[in-house]
C-alpha cells in the first residue's frame, strides 16, 4: 500500500521536473530484478543496459533513462 503511494508521489515529482528545471533527460540505476524493473517502468524509464557486478557486493544493476518532453 505505502509503496504504491510513494511511487505515485515520486512519479508526479519526476513529471514536474521538466516544468521547474530545463531538464531533457533523467537517468538512474536500479538492482536488476523483477520488482525494480516494474518500478522503473511505472516511473516511465526505459532500460538502457545491464551493469554487470555494478555494486560493491557484485550485484548486477540496470541503467535506466527517460527523455523528458
Flag whether pLDDT at 1 surpasses 70.
no
Residue 56, all three cell numbers: 560493491
pLDDT beyond 90 at 40 = yes
Nearest to 11 by CA among 31, 3, 24, 47: 3
Q: pTM here?
A: 0.84
What gap in Å lies between CA 60 and CA 62, rounded to an integer? 7
Q: Which of 19, 12, 54, 13 is nearest to 33 (CA)?
A: 54
Amino acid at each position: 500500500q505505502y509503496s504504491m503511494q510513494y511511487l505515485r508521489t515520486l512519479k508526479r515529482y519526476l513529471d514536474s521536473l521538466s516544468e521547474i528545471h530545463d531538464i531533457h533527460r533523467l537517468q538512474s540505476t536500479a538492482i536488476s530484478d523483477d520488482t525494480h524493473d516494474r518500478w522503473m517502468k511505472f516511473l516511465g524509464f526505459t532500460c538502457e543496459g545491464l551493469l554487470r557486478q555494478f555494486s560493491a557486493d557484485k550485484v548486477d544493476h540496470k541503467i535506466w533513462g527517460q527523455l523528458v518532453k
